[in-house]
Structure 1
Amino acid sequence: MGEVKDEKPTRPYHSRVRAESARRTRQAVVVAATELFVARGYTATSLADVAAAAGVARPTVFAAFGSKAALLRQVLDEALAGDDEPIPVAQRPWYRPVWEAESQGAVLDAYADVCTLIGARTARVFETVRRAADGSPETAEVWQTLLRNRRIGARTVVDRLAALGPLRAGSDVERAVDEVWFHNDPAHYGALVHGAGWDERTYRDWLARSMRHALLPD
């Protein structure tokens, strides 16, 4: 009988361990970058600063993200989505009530919930990008992408409203998209919750009421 050799650990196991370690490192970097970008500003924060705060070497940060602008985009993506899973916002479970609503008012109520959730996570980060956008082409590009993506989100909501009934008299689709795009700006959350001290429920109710008034028939 031939000699029975000890089985070696499988490569997939080691791959999973390495992948999980890399993911934890990326998450530590994203958390550190978020805090520093908000506290100091994007321009004043270097990759070395982020690496030190995350407890890793600067080359590790560069290897994981490639550039500070790419790291900023990851910070924004995770703030919008709530995690690092590659699932679009509109496909998240917390967005589902917008699709499942059976009346126009319910659509806007559900969307106000979504905007409040996103505002809580992104208002300060969005403001950081807005302030930095005048200082460099790379951040200006990120800012313009945010504006375009908000408009895409607004259009999906208007399409859902139009599928359920008429819009407010005098409000065509493009005008309605403009109005939803205005209302879904996290800056409103920053101004009213962070700045004026509103609680989230008051903000959410104001947002739902404002969108109903702007978009729905009397």
Structure 2
Amino acid sequence: MSDEIAPPATRSYNSSLRAGQAAETRRRILEAAAECFSATGYGGTSLADIARAAGVSVETVKLNGPKRDLLLAAFEQSFAGREGRDSLADHEPIAAITETADDADYLRGIVHFVAEANRRSSRLWAAFLAAASSDSVVAEELAALQQRRRADFHTLVAVLTERGMVAASAPPARLAEALSFLVSPESYGQLVRESGWSQADYEAWLARTIILLAREGWPA
């Protein structure tokens, strides 16, 4: 019979519990950061403000990164529902939508995802742009984010093309640029927050306009 002593059964449980608590704390901090940045801007928000909104200490906020990093992470969480710099095409909700066989259902799913993402993040996006104008590090992060965004829209055009939803006269690169502009947080802010469109009207308009751009060809 072995004399080895087995490690306490609670060790892995406690480790998982701590990891879960840390993840939940970070989620709350990023939600608080998004609220504060959206309300008072990047320059007008302190780590103490974020800590107060999240119900944690300033030291806990500091452990989750400097303010610049919190801004980017807060935007990622607000827009996509999770942190990360990987392609949105690999994000589980988008991957599930892409598996939809019906083209109309696929388009509605993509439009709804983007509309909800813009609803959550359009005010924060404005704060991000303002911060980038005065902070070179934030500007670099914004440029990298925009590059990933362009790649995501090229992927979207490729999927639409594979589905036969894009006319031959629509140049893929130009269509990707147009779609990126069409579904931008800026357009959401102007149409929904400023002009008072309902979320349903915004989604219907997006779907119709995407179809016109993709299927009706491209002006000479």
TM-score, length of structure 2 as denominator length: 0.84
Asked if structure 1 preserves the Cα contact closer than 8 Å seen for 2:76 and 2:84, the reply is: no
Contact 1:169/1:217, CA 8 A, preserved across alignment: no
Deviation at 1:99, TM superposition (A): 4.0
Q: CA RMSD in A?
A: 2.5
Q: Tell which deviates more after alignment, 77-86 or 55-64.
A: 77-86
Query: How far apart, in 2, do the equivalents of 1:16 and 1:55 lie?
Result: 22
The 1:189/1:70 distance shift into structure 2, 3 A limit, reads same
AA aligned to 1:16 is S
Q: How does 1:15-26 map to 2 (within 5 A)?
A: 15-26=15-26
CA contact 1:98–1:107 (8 Å) conserved in 2: yes
Moved more, 39-48 or 145-154: 145-154
Give the equivalent residue in structure 1 for 2:201: 202
Whether the aligned pair in 2 keeps the contact of 1:80 and 1:89 (CA below 8 Å) is: no
- The answer to whether the 8 Å contact 1:132/1:139 transfers is yes
* Cα shift at 1:185: 0.7
How far the C-alpha of 1:57 sits from its partner, in A, is 2.2
Gaps (5+ residues) in structure 1? 1-6
Task: State the distance in 2 between where 1:84 and 1:137 align.
Answer: 22
Give the Cα–Cα distance (whole angstroms) in 1 for the partners of residues 86 and 166 of structure 2.
Answer: 30
Tell me how many residue pairs correspond in the alignment.
211
Alpha-carbon spacing, 1:110–1:17, altered in 2? closer, same or farther (3 Å): closer
Identity of aligned residues (%): 31
Q: CA deviation at 1:84?
A: 5.4
Aligned 8 A contact 2:87 2:152 in 1 = no
Instruction: Give me the whole-angstrom Cα distance separating, in 2, the residues matched to 1:48 and 1:26.
Output: 15
Listed one character per residue, the Cα deviations across residues 124-174 of structure 1 (whole Å, up to 9, x for unaligned) are 111111122111112212322332222122111110122122733532111
2:170–2:214: 8 Å Cα contact kept in structure 1?
yes
- Report the Cα offset of residue 112 of structure 1: 1.6
**1:48 Cα shift?**
2.4
Which runs of at least 4 in structure 1 moved beyond 6 Å after TM superposition? none
TM-score by length of 1: 0.85
Is 1:116 matched up with 2:106? no
Q: Secondary structure at the match of 1:124?
A: helix
